[in-house]
Amino acid sequence: MKKWLLVSIISVFALVLTACGGNDDKASSASGGSEYTAEKPLVIKFSHVTSIESVKGKAAEQFAKLVSEKTEGKVKVEVYPSSQLYGDNDELDALMSGNVHMIAPSVTKMVKLDPRWQFVDMPFLFENQEHVHAFFNSDLAKDLMNSDQLAANDIKGLVFWENGFKHFSNNKHPLVTIEDYKGLKFRAQAGKVLEAQFHALNAGSATIAFGETYAALQQGTVDGQENTYNNFDTQKYQEVQKYFSNTAHGRLDYAIFVNKTFWEKIPADLLAQVEAALEESTTLAWELAGEENEKSFENIKNSGTVEVYEMSQEERDALKAALQPVYDEFGEVITAELIDGINALK
């Protein structure tokens, strides 16, 4: 009798727990994002390092605006531009630890986790903007975004935000031939591929955070840098650089990364609206990249402080040939699959 009573009590207790758990699941599913309101919203902290006037800055502000509209204020995106919250060197760690929820770094920052992300630094890998867009929309790009290396560090990749082709500038003399690079020292992002690039040009390089580059150029810590038209313009490098060559030798593009644990806990109804806002903002970022870079190139040429040299295709071909050793050294690191896959998209 006692045994039967004990079994009955345990069975009833188990049923109660199951019922409670089932109700909680149903309540959670039914309520969706109802626990968030305009007065007490879900906050997404979005940190990036460029100015609010840059392509990335404008797209980030648009994203925040769209999220607020689509969720009726239940989700608030707090955007921190210009390294206000975290700089180049620590925003990735901040994302992994959950101190921020979203970042939009130059993709080469991901080399800490996966060396393949240096593909944008491979010289002359992309032919034009259409080629870049074809890659962004490819399965190759999706595989990078959803790699095991990112997931193991609690990171999820979402979309690419275009910036543009990189060009060289310096304070010493015009950069026309390969010999003109010899002995110069350039600011560079971190990465062995970029070190090899400057080595092939008989130039030096120094890894300097984006937010510290203006001062480094002003103080003569480095002679030059490589950047897109828009970054050069919005960071006011025309104040601290004398010569600019439109080499279009590499890419500087961004990607949106989020803290995976945080992102996957966003209620499904709100997440759908946030991702819809991100899709619209990505379209804007791509459109702005072309428009703003064109405007910025005109600003650079009309600045009166920078001598602009517009390179011929023959001169670019000579530069490309000089940089072939980078492929010899890093082809296997970036992987033939990725390099050949990108080339096949031309």
Tally of domains within the chain: 1
Q: Is residue 289 domain-resident?
A: yes
Q: What is the pLDDT of residue 191?
A: 87
Q: Are strands 243-259 and 155-170 parallel, antiparallel or unpaired?
A: antiparallel
Q: Is residue 20 domain-resident?
A: no
Cβ distance 307 to 77 under 8 Å? no
Residue-wise pLDDT for 154-172, tens only, equals: 999 999 999 999 999 999 9
Max alpha carbon distance in the chain (Å)? Answer: 99
Q: Is residue 17 domain-resident?
A: no
Query: Rounded to an integer, what distance in angstroms lies between the CA atom of residue 166 and that of residue 250?
Result: 5
Q: What is the pLDDT of residue 190?
A: 84
Residue-wise pLDDT for 40-95, tens only, equals: 999 999 999 998 988 899 999 999 999 999 999 999 999 999 999 999 889 999 99
Q: Is residue 9 domain-resident?
A: no
Residue-wise pLDDT for 271-327, tens only, equals: 999 999 999 999 999 999 999 999 999 999 999 999 999 999 999 999 999 999 999
Q: Is the pLDDT of residue 152 over 90?
A: yes
Residue-wise pLDDT for 288-304, tens only, equals: 999 999 999 999 999 99
Task: Output 262 or 28, whichever has higher pLDDT.
Answer: 262
Q: Is residue 163 domain-resident?
A: yes
pLDDT band (50, 70, 90) for residue 32: low
Crossing angle (nearest 10°) for helices 129-136 and 268-301: 170
Crossing angle (nearest 10°) for helices 192-200 and 324-334: 160
H or E element in which residue 342 lies? helix 336-343
Q: Is residue 14 domain-resident?
A: no
Q: What is the pLDDT of residue 226?
A: 98
Torsion of CA 203, 194, 206, 321, to 10 degrees: 10
Q: Which single residue is written with the structure tokens 């240096």?
A: 118
Q: Is the pLDDT of residue 264 over 90?
A: yes
Q: What is the pLDDT of residue 14?
A: 40
Written as one string, the DSSP assignment of 125-139 is ---SHHHHHHHHTSH
Q: Is residue 21 domain-resident?
A: no
Question: Which candidate, 181, 187, 166, 200, places its Cα nearest to that of 289?
Answer: 166
Q: Is the pLDDT of residue 20 over 60?
A: no
Q: Is residue 147 domain-resident?
A: yes
CATH of the domain at 251: 3.40.190.170
Domain containing 291: what range?
42-343
Question: Which candidate, 238, 226, 241, places its Cα nearest to that of 168?
Answer: 226
pTM comes to 0.84
pLDDT band (50, 70, 90) for residue 4: very low
Q: What is the pLDDT of residue 54?
A: 86
Structure tokens that stand for 278 in this block: 């991100």
Dihedral sign, CA of 105, 108, 112, 115?
Answer: positive
- Counting residues of the chain whose pLDDT is more than 90, the rounded percentage is 85
Q: How many CB atoms lie within 10 A of CB 243?
A: 20
Cβ distance 133 to 295 under 8 Å? no
pLDDT band (50, 70, 90) for residue 33: low
Coil vs helix vs strand at 72: coil
Cβ distance 268 to 143 under 8 Å? no
